Amino acid sequence: MTPAASRLHQVRARVAAAAKAARRNPASVEIVGVSKGRSRPEIEEIIATGLRDFGENRVQEAQEKWPEILASHPDIRLHFVGRLQSNKAADAVALFDVIHSLDRPSLVEALGEASVKAGKRPAVYIQVNIGDEGQKGGCPIADLPGLVDLARSADLDLVGLMAIPPADQQPGSYFALLAKLAARHGLNGLSMGMSSDIEPAVMLGATAVRVGSALFEDQ
């Protein structure tokens, strides 16, 4: 096994063990390899192991790296996981299949327009500022009902909620809260969990974990 294959194997084993403990089907959890800051050869190594979902957090960096890779791997699904400026919405819709960071009304409008123009509708998660942190991306919990309604009326393909819990705390109660909010709004998708907290995220219902360092670096 190559080092990259062994890292993916370990991530899959962590997801599977957590899913089993929660009596969930491991196949219901998508692993998104977050490749921000990684070089094309590093990414190609992971592609060679079979992963087909990758995430980036900057539109420009993704535009520089991915079109060439996608030309030889058209089955890859690209996920946008960073803060999205409204003036980058059209570029994001052109390149990405899934957007995890819808967090405000102006972006609903920009993504709606871009989708119509491109004739292509990305799947969208609303990012929630689940720990109510000042500087963090994500919509305030109090604004979520309005933003869900707006996204649905704009005909976006709203699939779920995404959050990044506060860095200095146990993530479990935040993941549980996100799951509760998603259920309240009839949303099935839960994008939560990164390298350090895959297990609690999967146990509490994650349908997509966004994994960077555990996949790209020897631990």
- What is the binding site for ligand PLP (CB under 6 A)? 34, 36, 57, 81, 164, 194-196, 210-214
Pick the closer one to ligand PLP by CB: 10 or 196: 196
Taking the C-alpha atoms of residue 75 and residue 117, their distance in angstroms, rounded to an integer, is 23
Pick the closer one to ligand PLP by CB: 164 or 182: 164
Task: Work out how close the CB of 116 gets to ligand PLP at its nearest, in angstroms, rounded to a whole number.
Answer: 27
Pick the closer one to ligand PLP by CB: 18 or 211: 211
Task: Work out how close the CB of 71 gets to ligand PLP at its nearest, in angstroms, rounded to a whole number.
Answer: 25
Task: Work out how close the CB of 100 gets to ligand PLP at its nearest, in angstroms, rounded to a whole number.
Answer: 7
Sign of the Cα torsion 184, 53, 23, 25 reads positive
First-to-last alpha carbon distance for the chain, in angstroms, is: 16
Pick the closer one to ligand PLP by CB: 81 or 126: 81
Pick the closer one to ligand PLP by CB: 57 or 115: 57
Task: Work out how close the CB of 153 gets to ligand PLP at its nearest, in angstroms, rounded to a whole number.
Answer: 27
Task: Work out how close the CB of 54 gets to ligand PLP at its nearest, in angstroms, rounded to a whole number.
Answer: 11
Q: Which residue is nearest to ligand PLP (CB)?
A: 212
